Structure 1
Amino acid sequence: MTKYSALLSIVTVAFAAANLSANAPEGYVLEWSDEFDYVGAPNPEFWTHEVGAGGWGNNEVQVYTDSLDNSRVENGNLVIEVHQVDGGRVPGYTSARLITREKAQWKYGRMEIRAKLPSETGTWPAIWMLGADRLYGNGGWPDNGEIDIMEHVGYEEDPLYLDLVGNPEVPNIHGTAHLGRTSFIRSDGGVGSNGDGDSTYLSDASTEFHTYAINWTEDLIEWEVDGIKYFSLELPTFRVPPPQPLYYYWPFDQRFFMILNVAVGGRWGGNFSTGSFPSSPYGRGIDDNGVWPQRMEVDYVRVYKKDEPPEATPVPGRILATDLDHSDGILIVQSGVPELPHNLVNIDPDDSAEFAITVPQAGAYMVHATVATPNNSRLLSLSVPDSGDSTPAIELPNTGSYDTWQSVELGEINLMEGLNTLTMTTSTGGFTIAAFDVSEGEGSVWKGLNIDAFGNAQTNSWLGQININAAPWIYSYQFEDYIFMPVALEDTFSADNQWIFIPR
């Protein structure tokens, strides 16, 4: 019974994934999703709780926790639930804030979330994104951007507020981008941002599920509700003097991570205050006598990517940290070195990083890495699934600090003509990388050879003797029989003058 159940679960998951890909928007394929088809705490492989109080930069009054009371998966939905505690006195409320940083982060694509929102005055649910790699300016907000896929404030559904503004259909779904261009210095000395965005109206945002999405490319972000676009932001072609760096106008060319949360009060969520609502030390409008708990329910979070080849770095040449194509945990930060402005950090044991590269001619290429580490016995290796080749794990020198750089030879690796994926792996972590330098290898025997779909070099000739410098295996073709035999490095082999070889 157990075996059949397990098999059924695997088949069901595989079918569901295939179905999601089949239903992807035209021109996209599914890259990542959480369908919340489980029960209990949010999947720790996808989500991290940010916990604590302190206002979160907005004078919010809630305390974020990792308690199941505040965040859990049930009935096929993620539930983020706000609880009133201690009669609503400050802090008075608990909630949850979930992020994907260091677990899933994306550069461009379609982000789509189906959700139902809370409604009580004082609630401030948000589905949004922040720059994961902190590449620009102050290394934080707003220089590295913010994309608010959806924000909603509960008081916009309050009859008192609607009477005050004289409009029963106040736009209550907000999509916004925050960046250097929209920032200002607040009266308290902090940095604020008015953002660049727009709003739309939903009469049933708190009673029905709706689909909130952005389509994000290198020069355009579009906001949608239920497939209807209501705002777009383009990379500006004209910059108002005085000159500012490009990120001041468009920091949206780096990886971003997802955030789901429900705040209480704050500069926006609690901005409506009347005599009907008890005041708080923040002077913000929260209906402490309202209906609590309040919840945001999320049916799914899906990220689609364009169904096209990735941006690839040409080699021979230098592969920079910002050329990183995929890695969930590894981050990119500013290094302070002009010729190597960024480096990869947060490299832990068993982490990997993928770089898309394009190669003019198949052959062996030498790779050097610019690394820094204050640790001993740090290991790094490279592999290329396209050719099946890899380098042995190289022990990195202790450079004395994470800011003292040294170039380390990783060895030669065989690349196929065209698009390749260069994959860095480590069993140790504990180092940083600023760049890989790829140059033509010396004495390559692959140049000009045809490479089959399995990464084998077709020589179309018989060889008498072969020297294997860095490959742990050699195939032998002899008397119409294939022989697969392990060999030691740097050994020389001959067998009846009838060896054909891969690689090198």
Structure 2
Amino acid sequence: MRDTSVTPHRPRPLRRVLVAAFATLGLAAAAATVSAPSADASAPTPPSGWSQVFLDDFNGTAGTGVSTSNWQYDLGTSYPGGAANWGTGEVETMTNSTNNVSLDGSGNLRITPLRDSAGRWTSGRIETNRTDFQPPAGGKLRVEARIQMPNVTGVAAEGYWPAFWMLGAPYRGNYQNWPGVGELDIMENVQGLNKVWATLHCGTNPGGPCNETTGIGNSTACPGSTCQSGFHTYSMEWDRSVSPEALRFYVDGVNYHTVTASQVDATTWANATNHGYFIILNVAMGGGFPDAFGGGLDGDTQPGHPMLVDYVQVLQSGSGGGTTPPPTGNRDAYSPIQAESYDSQSGSTTETTTDTGGGQNIGSLANGDWALYKGVKFGSTAATQFYARVASGAGANVSGLVEVRLDSRTATPVGSFALANTGGWQSWRTVPANISSVTGTHDVYLTFTSGQSADFVNVNWFDFGH
């Protein structure tokens, strides 16, 4: 959803505003999975060449909450320190009550907006614990869900705003960097209309290269049954195997919206795509987007119509790196650099990782260890951010610094972050750090410094941002 405020939306940045109809760009795409006929269909088996990196089928006892190993609840009317009303003007209070968010016992999640006798609205909003969903270098990522929108239309649907969307990982805990960190709206709907919107939010607000707060979007009617009367599969494919890089949006396998890196400047695209994303499911009530289509909540709006979610699945294709480094001078600072693709190193081991579809990470990293990555291209616009996907099973009171040095492993670090135990050697998180401005092409050293001799970190990948 789109955030209409200076804060990243709501992350939904501003969906509440009129989404302009942009002509769909004609990039060929792999077909997304078509909606299955039953209400509690299982997630389809990944097609050949794809691996499953996340799945929640929402199987469980009726009336229970979602799996907190997969999801966290957003509560209240804003993020801590973020814009009021989730930055979009919506009026509901989000709760973790099973009245608002629960399994239905038939393999579906129900997010149900309710109104009490005083006219106050409650609803539900959940987001994945993981923030690392992005395609591997040279590969693809597909994020999809099979959803039936709230089955309500006409005046009774006024103010309904169901959504399935994603926010850039740097938004979590910041809440002031939208829309630059990116928002991918895979499914939005308002007012019970038989229409699905897909939108990329990026750049600056208002205006900017991504036309905020509207974003770069398009819409289409649901094929076959209406969006409200049946389940449909909504998906987004993020393709790094083509040039320019592309985002493709689908409903039931029909590609109705595509955005490519060539539509905005390189810095805007890099800032929106040089990191992982997390997934959000919610039903908002009222706000700018419904207002743009005939008005929001009033006495005719009927509470109690849930959005049903059969499954959420994330698939990946492509290797995402390897032990063979790219040619010198051919590493992109703004795409993930796989840690195991070093040119040389001291003190590390390489092992299979459980993170984001497999691959490898470097581990056994302790004080004095290092890894070298030659020929990293930063370009003419200065990089000011460093991101690394790291994990730690270090013991109590064991911690250390992950440092970035340029052209010499004894050079003064341009940036660093501290790390202690994250919950295990395969318990991954993406950690950001500020760095001194870097342009041009450099050999990048990751160095590891600690006051203890014990291992303190594993590294899966790293990249940079503006």
* Letter in structure 2 aligned against 1:55: N
The yes-or-no answer on 1:213 pairing with 2:222 is no
Pairs within 5 Å for 1:310-389: 310=321, 314=325, 355-358=338-341, 365-367=345-347, 383-385=349-351
- In the other structure, the counterpart of 2:72 is 48
Pairs within 5 Å for 1:484-495: none
The yes-or-no answer on 1:230 pairing with 2:256 is yes
Q: Is the 8 A contact 1:63 1:94 kept in 2?
A: yes
Summarize the Cα distance change of 1:389–1:156 in structure 2 as closer, same or farther, 3 Å threshold: closer
Summarize the Cα distance change of 1:324–1:79 in structure 2 as closer, same or farther, 3 Å threshold: same
- In the other structure, the counterpart of 2:124 is 96
Structure 1 residue corresponding to 2:199, chosen from 171, 176, 187: 176
* Letter in structure 2 aligned against 1:291: Q
Summarize the Cα distance change of 1:432–1:134 in structure 2 as closer, same or farther, 3 Å threshold: farther
Q: CA deviation at 1:37?
A: 1.5
- 1:103-130 CA distance string (max 9 Å, x none): 3431120001000011322110010001
* Letter in structure 2 aligned against 1:357: E
Summarize the Cα distance change of 1:386–1:238 in structure 2 as closer, same or farther, 3 Å threshold: closer
Q: CA deviation at 1:389?
A: 12
Q: Does the residue aligned with 1:99 lie in a helix, a strand or coil?
A: strand
What is the alpha-carbon root mean square deviation over aligned residues? 4.3
The yes-or-no answer on 1:77 pairing with 2:108 is yes
* Letter in structure 2 aligned against 1:57: G
The yes-or-no answer on 1:63 pairing with 2:93 is yes
Stretches of 4+ aligned residues off by more than 6 angstroms:
19-22, 319-325, 386-393, 436-440
Q: Distance in 2 between matches of 1:312 and 1:199?
A: 42
The yes-or-no answer on 1:154 pairing with 2:154 is no
| Structure showing greater Rg | 1
Pairs within 5 Å for 1:456-467: none
Structure 2 residue corresponding to 1:114, chosen from 141, 146, 160: 146
Summarize the Cα distance change of 1:422–1:299 in structure 2 as closer, same or farther, 3 Å threshold: closer
Summarize the Cα distance change of 1:422–1:173 in structure 2 as closer, same or farther, 3 Å threshold: closer
Q: Distance in 2 between matches of 1:260 and 1:117?
A: 12
Pairs within 5 Å for 1:416-435: 425-428=393-396, 433-435=402-404
- In the other structure, the counterpart of 1:37 is 59
Q: Is the 8 A contact 1:127 1:258 kept in 2?
A: yes
Q: CA deviation at 1:30?
A: 1.0
Summarize the Cα distance change of 1:61–1:234 in structure 2 as closer, same or farther, 3 Å threshold: same
Q: TM-score, normalised by structure 2?
A: 0.58
Structure 2 residue corresponding to 1:200, chosen from 205, 220, 224: 220
- The number of residue pairs the alignment matches comes to 318
- In the other structure, the counterpart of 1:125 is 162
Structure 1 residue corresponding to 2:287, chosen from 259, 266, 284: 266
Q: Does the residue aligned with 2:288 lie in a helix, a strand or coil?
A: helix
Structure 2 residue corresponding to 1:141, chosen from 178, 194, 198: 178
Unaligned runs of 5+ in 2: 1-40, 78-83, 136-140, 354-359, 372-388, 410-466
Unaligned runs of 5+ in 1: 1-18, 158-171, 186-190, 240-244, 274-283, 326-354, 368-381, 395-407, 413-420, 441-504
Residue identity over aligned pairs, in percent, reads 27
- 1:39-78 CA distance string (max 9 Å, x none): 3211101101111123111111100011111111122111
Q: Distance in 1 between matches of 2:216 and 2:335?
A: 28
Q: Distance in 2 between matches of 1:302 and 1:390?
A: 28
Q: Distance in 2 between matches of 1:356 and 1:411?
A: 11
Structure 2 residue corresponding to 1:256, chosen from 264, 269, 277: 277
Q: CA deviation at 1:34?
A: 0.6
* Letter in structure 2 aligned against 1:67: S
Summarize the Cα distance change of 1:409–1:146 in structure 2 as closer, same or farther, 3 Å threshold: same
Q: Distance in 1 between matches of 2:361 and 2:73?
A: 39
Q: CA deviation at 1:175?
A: 0.4
Summarize the Cα distance change of 1:94–1:23 in structure 2 as closer, same or farther, 3 Å threshold: same
Q: Distance in 2 between matches of 1:72 and 1:127?
A: 17
Q: Distance in 1 between matches of 2:335 and 2:188?
A: 32
Q: Is the 8 A contact 1:182 1:195 kept in 2?
A: no
- 1:276-321 CA distance string (max 9 Å, x none): xxxxxxxx5214333321211100000000143437784999x999
Q: Does the residue aligned with 1:246 lie in a helix, a strand or coil?
A: helix
Q: CA deviation at 1:253?
A: 3.0
Q: Distance in 2 between matches of 1:62 and 1:267?
A: 13
Summarize the Cα distance change of 1:48–1:21 in structure 2 as closer, same or farther, 3 Å threshold: closer
Q: Distance in 2 between matches of 1:69 and 1:323?
A: 42
Q: CA deviation at 1:38?
A: 1.8
- In the other structure, the counterpart of 1:303 is 314
Q: CA deviation at 1:359?
A: 5.3
Summarize the Cα distance change of 1:238–1:256 in structure 2 as closer, same or farther, 3 Å threshold: closer
Summarize the Cα distance change of 1:313–1:48 in structure 2 as closer, same or farther, 3 Å threshold: farther
